[in-house]
A and B are shown apart, each in its own frame.
Chain A
Amino acid sequence: MSSAPILALENLTMRFGGIVAVNALSFTAQRKQITALIGPNGAGKTTVFNCITGFYKPTSGVIRLTHDDGAQFEMQKLKDYNISKQAKVARTFQNIRLFPGMTALENLMVAQHNALMKASGLTFLGLLGVPSWRAAEQSAIDNAVFWLKRVGLLDRADDAAGNFAYGDQRRLEIARAMCTGPALLCLDEPAAGLNARESGALNELLLSIRSDHGTSILLIEHDMSVVMEISDRVVVMDYGVKIAEGTPREIRDDPKVIAAYLGTDEEEAAAVMEAEA
């Protein structure tokens, strides 16, 4: 197994016209750990996410992903679909993006598109219904069933995803991301809009994805109870730069983080800056 961190950002900068959304950001996410990216609204967290998952091309900087077998990918150079296909990075969205008119099972089948496409001989063997294709399809269904069971939605496999309750949609989106067989799972505010019980179930699910499936997780979250409870490391951003990094306990007591979240009056801020210098 490779000893390099699964994800390393080096001097990532993203500009939109004159606005610098992310400025020379560097951090690493360790293998088989949960890394949380937090910060006040507008800090640039989602921009970082979109750069990692290929939705934005960063202005400069390197995003390096290293698989367990040591294979390395510079993701700023990959095409968007290859980030999932080759680099094995899956993501969920802040505003859930399921396929509402398709059933839960179909959603999870679409997630296995690349593997199934290969098994269907680029459609031609599948059109003829050869046995190897049928076997591949069945194993894809089994994989989908496994994840549906895992997120507790097996009894609703044949229902349209658009009919699911909000919390169920969040879990289904995570199941769909896991069906791509990711090395790194990026979650954009997975606990947003969940009640306390659902949020607790989500924590359990994420911890199990990390420990039982060995998938590294990078998550953006505003819900501090989730962040403090499950993350192994926390990276704090504000105004496009990293202002702190450490264990949840260290972050909780960091005056700069508190200042970024709660705001300070000028004197206090100056005091913090001086103490830092």
Chain B
Amino acid sequence: MSASLPPSSPFQSNGSEPVGAAFILKKAVLSALVALGLFSLMVGVRTEAGQSGQLEYWTRFGELASLVGAVFVGSIAVELLRLWLGPRGGFGSFVPASVQSGLSVAGRYLAPALLIFTFLVPVIFYNQRYILDLGILVLTYVMLGWGLNVVVGLAGLLDLGYVAFYAVGAYSYGLLSTTFGLSFWICLPLAGILAAFWGVLLGFPVLRLRGDYLAIVTLAFGEIIRLVLINWQEVTGGPNGVSGIPRPTLFGIPLTPGEGGLAAMLGIPFSPTHRIVFLFYLILALALLTNWVTIRLRRLPIGRAWEALREDEVACRALGINITTTKLTAFATGAMFGGFAGAFFATRQGFISPESFTFQESALVLAIVVLGGMGSQLGVALAALAMIGGFELFRSLEVYRMLVFGLAMVLIMIWRPRGIVGHRAPTVFLEKSKSISSDLVKEGHG
């Protein structure tokens, strides 16, 4: 609709000028005309195959009129809302400064509070299997989000095939443990190394690609890995997947009933919840490791080089930074964390198949990173909680779940276009660490 705005539109030239009723009406009429054009065939004429296969159609002008009317009224409402909220800045300028500073204080204590709460979840919800399972799921996505954050948020390389490394990690553990009988704790680093290796392998061909081209190739890479998993039947089991993957042990002590199990050793009655709690703390530890390493890396030269690469690649070259190795290390590091998460996924499920590693997973993890605020650790954790937990929250809405969820995402993107935590924290400071406004931070060129 922006094309229909005259260049001297009050919104574009000067917001303090009053917007005339004529302008609002004109815009609403234009919107309604577009709606009429779009919906006249989609809604206005209903076609169906008749009993003998002939075309039957009838008109539904009533529905069409109500839709066009809704667009007309909606357009006026949006304009009035915009007028009321001020020309620019949206909701941000609408919040008083005192509230904003209060929010930032709350933000400082949010991360430690969340961490303590997460530690206590198995204690509080010990008898609620559903909550524990959901917690494990959320933490898995937190870990995946933090892993992808290295590639997308720090290095600014748009990776749409992140699920490939998740799959490599899962199959590494699944196949190594079922074929060679290796334990989870040996396979975990191996899964990370193998995924990192595939990360480098993906990195090489895409070094020269940027933006959309990079996104397309990484997307294809994700699909290739999945197709190989489906078709290489002798090794991966094809669509049947890998089953009977050993459950994790507490450094060799199995969490099983009977002799030699952890419960028997501790002299307490066995409960299947023990394993769930163990898995919960396992993924929490893995996620926190990812977080700790990422925070450390940001303060090391390699992390700064990633961020510099996102800001300006040409300047990096002029400063003697090897772009090739810097990009490859970003891919490898992100992939390694994906591999760890994959190995955890395999041991938790006990069964893996290519169906678990579709593009939808990549898109979900990327959405978590973008929604959280690229580069922000806290933001990604909050976004994973909102995306995975929120999705469960809307379960009672049944068919409208996706609709409500989509609406919530659109609203968040209007309210905070750079993610929940959009600002960037400096990695080093002399006197005082001042957070950097998201307007200045670049998203990278791909």
Q: Which residues of A does B touch, CB under 8 Å?
A: 53-55, 79-85, 90-91, 93, 97-103, 105-106, 109-114, 116-117, 120, 123, 126-127, 129, 141, 145, 157-160, 162-163, 176-177, 180
CA distance A106 to B428 in the complex (A): 7
Q: Are the CB atoms of A84 and B429 closer together than 8 Å? A: no
B159 interface contact, C-beta 8 A: no
Contact B436 A110 (CB under 8 A): no
User: Contact check: which of A80, A101, A123, A158 meets B442 at CB < 8 Å?
Assistant: A101
How far is A117 from B428 in the complex, measured between Cα atoms in Å? 16
Neighbour of A160 across the interface among B293, B302, B304, B437, CB < 8 A:
B437
Interface pick from B57-65, B275-283, B312-320, B403-411: B312-320
Closest A residue to B430 using CB positions: A157
Are A126 and B437 in contact, with the CB atoms below 8 A? Answer: no
B108 at the interface (CB under 8 A from A): no
* B-chain residues with CB within 8 Å of residue A177 when the two chains form the complex: 318
Does the CB pair B436–A103 fall under 8 Å? yes
> In the complex, what distance in Å separates the CA atom of A120 from the CA atom of B301?
8
Tell me if B300 and A81 are in contact (CB < 8 A).
no
**Closest residue of chain A to B427, judged by CB?**
A106
User: Would you call B311 and A101 a contact (CB within 8 A)?
Assistant: yes
Report B's interface with A, CB cutoff 8 A.
Answer: 293, 296-297, 300-302, 304-305, 307-308, 311-312, 314-323, 329, 424, 426-434, 436-437, 440-442
Note all chain B residues with C-beta closer than 8 A to A158.
426, 429-434
Chain B residues within an 8 Å CB radius of A112: 301
Q: Contact between B317 and A116 (Cβ–Cβ < 8 Å)?
A: no
Nearest Cβ distance between residue A172 and chain B, in whole angstroms?
12
Q: Which 4 pairs from chain A and chain B are nearest by CB?
A: A84-B320, A101-B441, A99-B311, A162-B440
When the two chains form their complex, are residues B424 and A101 in contact, meaning their CB atoms are under 8 A apart? yes
Contact among B305, B320, B440 with A163 in the assembled complex (CB-CB below 8 Å) = B440
In the bound assembly, the distance between CA atoms of A162 and B305 in angstroms comes to 18
Contact partners of A126 in chain B: CB under 8 A = 296, 300-301
Chain A residue at minimal CB-CB distance from B441 = A101
CB distance from B124 to the nearest CB of A (A): 34
B305 nearest CB neighbor, chain A only: A113
Q: Across the interface, do B437 and A98 meet the contact criterion of CB distance under 8 Å?
A: no
28 residue pairs A–B, Cβ–Cβ below 8 Å: A53-B318, A55-B318, A81-B317, A81-B322, A83-B320, A85-B322, A97-B315, A99-B311, A101-B424, A101-B436, A102-B311, A102-B436, A103-B429, A103-B436, A105-B430, A106-B307, A106-B428, A113-B304, A116-B300, A116-B301, A120-B301, A123-B329, A126-B296, A158-B430, A158-B432, A160-B436, A162-B440, A180-B319
Q: How far is the CA of A116 from the CA of B297 in the complex (A)?
A: 13
